[in-house]
Amino acid sequence: MLPGLKAGFTLDARLEADSEQLMWLGLCELRLMNDRRWPWLVLVPQRPGVEEIHDLTPLDQAMLTFETNMVAQALKRVTGCTKINTGALGNIVRQLHVHVIARTEGDPGWPGPVWGHGMREPYQRPDIRRFAETIKAAL
């Protein structure tokens, strides 16, 4: 294990409840939001007590940027989406996490934000596994 990784780290309960673990990237755990309306990934840097990007060390900031770009490129490749939305809001879940969402004209809520739009539509288990494998192969 790399120094500092996971030591004292606990995933926020809301992130754990709303998403599925896909894989470890390096700095971040990559998770899939359990809402099939949008291909929606979340990167969670494994650093305890970090709420903002500027709370990370410069090296961790660079690694987060690298991993976010890598995930965004893979998501765009596998979905063929019109636009990738990337954001780290943290107004409700304070733990630092970065959303990477594939958006396509005409999707539910287009062109508005995904947050607070309608009711979540959970994936079926086989669909989560299939999407996870597709993303892993693209990375």
Residue 80: how many other CB atoms lie within 10 Å: 8
For residue 1, pLDDT beyond 90: no
pLDDT at 4: 46
Per the rule left: phi > 0, alpha: psi between -120 and 50, beta: everything else, 116 is left
| pLDDT tens profile 12-50 | 999 999 999 999 999 999 999 999 999 999 999 999 999
Closest of 132, 88, 127, 82 to residue 107, by C-alpha: 82
For residue 8, name the pLDDT band (cuts at 50, 70, 90): confident
The per-residue pLDDT for range 90-136, each reduced to its tens digit, is 999 999 999 999 999 999 899 999 988 899 999 999 999 999 999 99
